[in-house]
Amino acid sequence: MVVGCGALGSVIAESLARAGIGRLRLIDRDFVELSNLQRQVLYDETDVAERLPKAVAAARKLERINSDVVIEPHVADLSAGNILELLRGADVILDGTDNFETRFLVNDAAVELGIPWVHAGCVGSHGQIMTILPGQTPCLRCLMPSPPPPGGSETCDTAGVIGPAVNIVASLQVVDALKILTGQRELIQPVLSIVDVWTGSLRQMQLGGLNPSQCPCCGGTERLWLHGQQGSQSVILCGRNSVQIAPAGAVQFDFTSLANRLASLGAVKANPFLLTFRPSDSNCEMTLFRDGRAIIGGTEDLSEARSLYARYIGV
């Protein structure tokens, strides 16, 4: 299971497909843009032109790389309402996400389901990797009781990220995933590995001193993100000048009727996976997914994004 098909996720997915893993489940909420091509290795300009969801574009490439691997693409935004269904049955979860809210949600679900997961993050020239075996090693909340505050850590927006850092971090994730998949969990150490490809350094922080029994998550039953007590419905997307809006309830868009309704209000373009709408009276662009989500491009103002969504979509 690869959560997020961006920079890390695309390298992870390709490596696992070439390794001949039997089944690969991909989850991503986003679509391919030109700015992705610098570091997201599974995509090309054709995917940009077709505005394909990343999970779909990645699956098509991976099927051509190794047709023996069963690829399951899911165009979805992980949430408290769908994560258990999407993750259930996985042997290992690999972190290709770009925000801490999703990571803490995955941590809750992985602990709840008892599924190993390989956390990682990458920004600038450095990255970190931590493999979590529920019931055996400390979880993410043992290390970080809560996500960093907004503005409290670097992001790909403020610091960028270089391809070699992505490749090394993703490769280390895949190594630990292969250990798990081949029944060699005893080789997994409770460490946080920190790599900086610019300086050539690799440090390992030993986590054996952390006591999981004192963690409210893996040592107890507290699942704040899984139970919807933490996390937001709107989020600024890293490095994109965009905001994602996710409706609180279940929504299923009818693109045909929606396109007809919006046609007189601006430019509309649709494919089987998403609908793009550029209002004639706004510099923003709305990309709508069938599950009710929208990515509002051209703004990082949450209130403006919510206003546009309510005005044109009416949900």
Length of the chain: 315
Chain mean position to CA 54: 11
pLDDT at 58 over 70: yes
- At 313 the pLDDT is 83
Q: Which amino acid is at 26?
A: L
> 2-214 falls under which CATH superfamily?
NAD(P)-binding Rossmann-like Domain (3.40.50.720)
Residue 150's pLDDT band (cuts 50, 70, 90): very low
- The answer to which of 80-94, 104-118, 218-232 has the lowest mean pLDDT is 218-232
Looking at per-residue pLDDT, the higher value among 39 and 134 belongs to 134
Is 218 among the catalytic positions?
Answer: no
Architecture of domain 234-313: 2-Layer Sandwich (3.30)
Mean pLDDT, rounded, for 74-91:
93
Question: Counting beta carbons within 10 angstroms of the beta carbon of residue 43, is it exposed (0 to 12), middle (13 to 18) or buried (19 or more)?
Answer: buried
Cβ-contact 134, 110 below 8 angstroms = yes
Output the DSSP codes for the chain: -EE--SHHHHHHHHHHHHHT-SEEEEEE--B--GGGGGT-TT--HHHHHHT-BHHHHHHHHHHHH-TTSEEEEEE----TTTHHHHHTT-S-EEE--SSHHHHHHHHHHHHHHT--EEEEEEEBTEEEEEEE-TTTS--HHHH-SSPPPTTSS--HHHH-B-HHHHHHHHHHHHHHHHHHHTT-GGG--SEEEEEETTTTEEEEEE-TTS-GGG-TTTTSS--TTTTTSS--SEEEETTTTEEEE--SS-----HHHHHHHHGGGEEEEE-SSEEEEEETT-S-EEEEETTS-EEEET---HHHHHHHHHHHT--
Residue of 5, 156, 217, 218 marked catalytic: 156
- At 231 the pLDDT is 67
Mean pLDDT, rounded, for 185-191:
96
Residue 158's pLDDT band (cuts 50, 70, 90): very low
- At 49 the pLDDT is 94
How many angstroms separate the CA atoms of 34 and 129, rounded?
Answer: 28
Between strands 242-245 and 294-297, the pairing is antiparallel
- At 191 the pLDDT is 97
- At 151 the pLDDT is 41
pLDDT at 156 over 70: no
pLDDT at 152 over 50: no
Looking at per-residue pLDDT, the higher value among 236 and 17 belongs to 17
How many angstroms separate the CA atoms of 223 and 216, rounded?
Answer: 8
Structure tokens at 95: 């972190």
User: Which residues make up the CATH 3.30.310.10 domain(s) of the chain?
Assistant: 234-313
- The answer to which of 69-73, 143-147, 159-163 has the lowest mean pLDDT is 159-163
Mean pLDDT, rounded, for 284-297:
91
- Nearest CA-CA partner of 143 in 186, 107, 110: 107
pLDDT tens track for 102-143: 899 999 999 999 999 999 999 999 999 999 999 999 999 999
